[in-house]
Chains A and B, each alone.
Chain A
Amino acid sequence: QSALTQPASVSGSPGQSITMSCTGTSSDVGSYNLVSWYQNHPGKAPKLMIYQGSKRPSGVSNRFSGSKSGNTASLTISGLQAEDEADYFCCSFAGSGTRWVFGGGTKLTVL
């Protein structure tokens, strides 16, 4: 069982918006503004999509946005495109001992 809880799957049609959640605890997501999201296509290197909860790295589409409320972080993808179909993992800093915790991943299907 992963440290952060993500829904196993979400789906949406092209052009629609979807939101996926990432629930942690007051020791990780709730304590630090260091939630990041990664897109993982099978057989490829994971790609950073969101860092510090809501910031986008250079080159990442503004269709991707992140937010946090309490112990839960969220990733929203607007204007869904076929190439968005992938697994998405959330991650949070968890302090000097545990360091980093990840979610189990959410499989996004673009219908």
Chain B
Amino acid sequence: EVQLLESGGGLVQPGGSLRLSCAASGFTFSSYAMSWVRQAPGKGLEWVSAIGSGGGTTYYLDSVKGRFTISRDNSKKTLYLQMNSLRAEDTAVYYCAKYSSSSGPDAFDIWGQGTVVTVSS
């Protein structure tokens, strides 16, 4: 079964750090770009970051540039999001999502269940 499972969320104080992980199974992880998408309480979805299949190309939402780092370990079939200097406005459910095509941007065909990040003192 094709599956993504996020972990690493929790409660953190403003200015703190968290590392999210997303374990993939059921597909050739190394062939697909991956993304993180978040949903703040009562808000819509917001794309956060993306990484190419090999890990050499990364993209970020302007508001997280310089604070968040996306990475992947294809040998472990795992996607990561290192989040530093966290702010209250980063509070959200964070989803990892798989690109549907291995040949370029298309859509997100597989999503995880999400992990909750709460930034509060």
Which residues in A have their C-beta under 8 angstroms from that of B113?
Answer: 43-45
Residues of B with C-beta under 8 A to A103: 44-45
Count of residues in B whose CB is under 8 Å from the partner chain: 23
Given the known interface contacts A45-B95, A46-B95, A100-B35, the answer about A91 and B109 at a Cβ–Cβ threshold of 8 Å is no
Mark each residue of chain A from 60 to 96: 1 if its CB lies under 8 Å from any CB of chain B, else 0.
0000000000000000000000000000010101001
- The residue of chain B having its C-beta at the shortest distance from the C-beta of A32 within the complex is B105
What is the distance, in angstroms, from B110's C-beta to the closest C-beta of chain A? 8
Minimum CB–CB distance for A47 against chain B, Å: 8
Measured between C-beta atoms, what is the minimum distance from B95 to chain A in Å?
7
CB-based contact A102/B37 at 8 Å = yes
Q: Does A48 contact B (CB under 8 A)?
A: yes
Contact of A48 among B45, B59, B108, B114 (CB under 8 A): B108
- Do the beta carbons of A52 and B44 come within 8 Å of each other? no
**B23 vs chain A, min Cβ distance (A):** 14
Taking the closest CB of chain B, its distance from the CB of A74, in whole angstroms, is 16
The answer, among A6, A34, A99, A102, for a CB contact under 8 Å with B59, is A99
Chain A: residues with CB nearer than 8 A to chain B?
2, 6, 34, 36, 38, 43-48, 51-52, 57, 89, 91, 93, 96, 99-105
- Show 9 residue pairs from A and B whose CB-CB distance is below 8 angstroms, ordered by the A residue: A36-B106, A38-B111, A46-B97, A46-B108, A91-B47, A99-B105, A102-B45, A102-B46, A103-B44
- Excluding A46-B108, A100-B47, 14 further A-B contacts by CB distance (< 8 Å) are A6-B44, A34-B106, A36-B107, A43-B113, A45-B111, A51-B100, A57-B100, A89-B44, A89-B45, A91-B107, A99-B50, A102-B46, A102-B47, A103-B45
